[in-house]
């Protein structure tokens, strides 16, 4: 029995020959079992043991756009990295201590760099500026005056005393797109609260949904609203740039973690807003669908997502109980959801006769969504097996490091990965010298 295709350990020698890069490294799995999805995927595409340089594509859509990045930690840096991947020139402004995430370890890369910092700071140049120093502050203001986009996530009002708030920057640079990211908005009581994802997960209601019904609330496994706010800021910046193309006007784009949470909780928020229902914790269950959760098998759990009548009928066929799909108690989606406690033991009794791998193959073959519960390692390896090539080479030559691919692909261009995450202040002198010239960008 074959296992999930994969890579093992940190990837550093990014210049290996293809023959070595494509060696297969099977996982160790309990009881000798394979991870569901491993067999077919391995035959289709073996995961490389590292990243290959990207082939150059067409010109990138944000080439010539200069971004002054005064943000730190996650939401803002994630937004600017995505924009940099698409061609924008991003100058990361850091204090003398650097972005907080530089010290967020473990885990580390083999060279000691925080993987958290590295995950969101490629394709940028770093300048260290101390706003208490008159010359450094003047450099920061000059950078903001030249920028097409300024992005910051200071506490509301925190940049005003430095002349780097929206009103001050827009007075000198009326065409600027100024993006602010806060925790709870810029008006009223929310303006005084700092923006931490964990706090917003709690106060937005997300944690009331996460965990077992009879257990404590849990945070999501990532800083989900930081990521959402970064994505929403990216959308806002791109929309404002498009509007500027039409009108010539700059704009102030505001995003907050709390607003992103209200939007990002989608059906759960609307259950209350539109239906007057307050959702509560249901573990892995779905409030409106069944079966749509983790299900036990003869060995490992799998996710089964039979979201409509056709899929449920096919699930019952594979399990050898086609009559259940015809049972009037379970005929419609709402019936199955209302009677999940009745239906669950019927399905579990049949699922126990099959391994997770068998169900993965048989259910997907008939169009019933089914998948394993992977580790992050296995998830990356499976993405490789599917041909998604999630691991890319960032930077060139000896400075190249592994990174995660930009989430979008295009048939006309390739996102860039030419600059490894910068060392603190790596480009300070270069950028200060450029600010004394009339050149449009430092590239």
What pLDDT, on a 0 to 100 scale, did the predictor assign at position 58?
Answer: 76
pLDDT attached to residue 439: 76
Using the predicted structure, report yes or no on whether residue 39 has a pLDDT greater than 70.
no
Of 315, 440, 433, the closest CA to residue 367 belongs to 315
Looking at the 3D structure of the chain, how many domains does it have? 2
| In a shared domain, residues 270 and 158 | yes
Render pLDDT for 399-434 as a digit per residue (tens, 0 to 9): 899 999 999 999 999 999 999 999 999 999 999 999
Task: Give the C-alpha separation, 304 to 372, whole Å.
Answer: 9
What is the pLDDT, as a whole number, of residue 24? Answer: 31
- How many Å apart are CA 178 and CA 249, to the nearest integer? 12
Question: Among the options 148, 197, 226, 299, which is catalytic?
Answer: 226
Pair 111, 207 in one domain = yes
Beta strands at 124-128 and 89-94: parallel, antiparallel or unpaired: parallel
Q: Are residues 156 and 208 in the same domain?
A: yes
**Same domain membership, residue 396 and residue 364:** no
**Does the bond joining 273 to the residue before it have cis omega, within 30 degrees of 0?**
no
Strand order in the sheet with 177-182: 124-128, 89-94, 66-69, 149-152, 177-182, 251-256
Q: Are residues 320 and 213 in the same domain?
A: no
Question: For position 189, which CATH number holds?
Answer: 3.40.50.10540
**Whether residue 338 is found in the same domain as residue 238:** no
pLDDT at 74: 98
Query: Domain range spanning residue 306?
Result: 301-372
Residues 396 and 254 in one domain: yes
How confident is the model over 338-348, as a mean pLDDT? 97
Confidence of residue 442 (pLDDT cuts 50, 70, 90): confident
For residues 364 and 263, state if they share a domain.
no
Residue 42: is its pLDDT beyond 50? Answer: no
**Looking at the structure, do residues 424 and 359 belong to the same domain, yes or no?**
no
- Kindly state whether residue 233 falls inside one of the protein's structural domains: yes
Is residue 149 helix, strand or coil?
strand
- Identify the helix (H) or strand (E) that includes residue 254: strand 251-256
What's the CA gap between 19 and 234, in Å, rounded?
Answer: 39
In the residue annotation, 327 being an active-site residue is answered as no
**Do both 134 and 219 map to the same domain?**
yes
Answer yes or no: is 11 within a domain.
no
Do 239 and 356 belong to one domain?
no
Per the CB < 8 A criterion, the answer to whether 309 and 333 are in contact is yes
Residue 50 confidence (pLDDT): 56
Question: Is 350 domain-assigned?
Answer: yes
CATH code of the domain covering residue 321: 3.30.1540.10
């Amino acid at each position: 029995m074959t296992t999930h295709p994969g890579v093992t350990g940190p990837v550093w020698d990014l210049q290996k020959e293809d023959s070595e890069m494509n060696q297969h490294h099977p996982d160790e799995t309990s009881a000798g079992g394979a991870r569901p999805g491993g067999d077919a995927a391995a035959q289709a595409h073996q995961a490389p043991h590292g990243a290959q340089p990207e082939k150059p594509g067409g010109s990138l859509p944000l080439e010539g756009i200069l971004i002054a990045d005064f943000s730190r930690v996650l939401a803002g840096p994630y937004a600017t990295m995505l924009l940099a991947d698409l061609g924008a020139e991003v100058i990361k402004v850091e204090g003398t201590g650097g972005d907080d995430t530089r010290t967020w370890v473990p885990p580390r890369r083999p060279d000691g760099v925080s993987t958290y910092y590295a995950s969101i700071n490629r394709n940028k140049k770093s300048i260290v500026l101390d706003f208490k120093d008159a010359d450094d502050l003047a450099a920061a203001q000059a950078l903001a005056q030249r920028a097409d986009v300024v992005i910051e996530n200071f506490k509301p009002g925190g940049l005003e005393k430095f002349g780097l708030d929206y009103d001050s920057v827009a007075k000198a640079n009326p065409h600027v797109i100024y993006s602010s990211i806060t925790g709870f908005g810029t008006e009223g009581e929310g303006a005084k609260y700092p923006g931490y994802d964990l706090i917003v997960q709690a106060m937005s209601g997300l944690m009331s949904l996460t965990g077992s019904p009879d257990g404590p609330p849990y945070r999501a496994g990532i800083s989900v609203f930081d990521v959402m706010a970064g994505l929403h800021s990216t959308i806002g910046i791109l929309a404002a740039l498009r509007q500027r193309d039409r009108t010539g006007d700059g704009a102030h784009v505001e995003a907050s973690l709390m607003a992103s949470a209200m939007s990002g909780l989608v059906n759960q928020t609307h259950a209350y807003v539109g239906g007057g229902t307050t959702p509560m914790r249901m573990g892995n269950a779905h409030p409106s669908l069944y079966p749509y959760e983790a299900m036990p098998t003869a060995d490992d759990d799998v996710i089964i997502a039979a979201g409509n009548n056709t899929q449920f009928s096919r699930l019952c066929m594979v399990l050898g109980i086609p009559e259940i799909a015809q049972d009037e108690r379970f005929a419609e989606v709402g019936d199955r959801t209302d009677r999940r406690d009745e239906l669950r033991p019927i399905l579990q009794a049949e699922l126990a006769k099959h391994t997770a791998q068998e169900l993965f193959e048989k259910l997907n073959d008939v169009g019933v969504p089914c998948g394993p519960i992977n580790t992050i390692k296995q998830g990356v390896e499976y993405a490789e097996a599917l041909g998604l090539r999630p691991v890319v080479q960032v930077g060139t030559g000896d400075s190249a490091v592994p990174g995660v691919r930009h989430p979008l692909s295009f048939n006309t261009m390739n996102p860039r990965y030419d600059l490894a995450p910068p060392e603190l202040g790596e480009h300070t002198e270069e950028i200060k010298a450029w600010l004394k010239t009339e050149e449009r960008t430092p590239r």
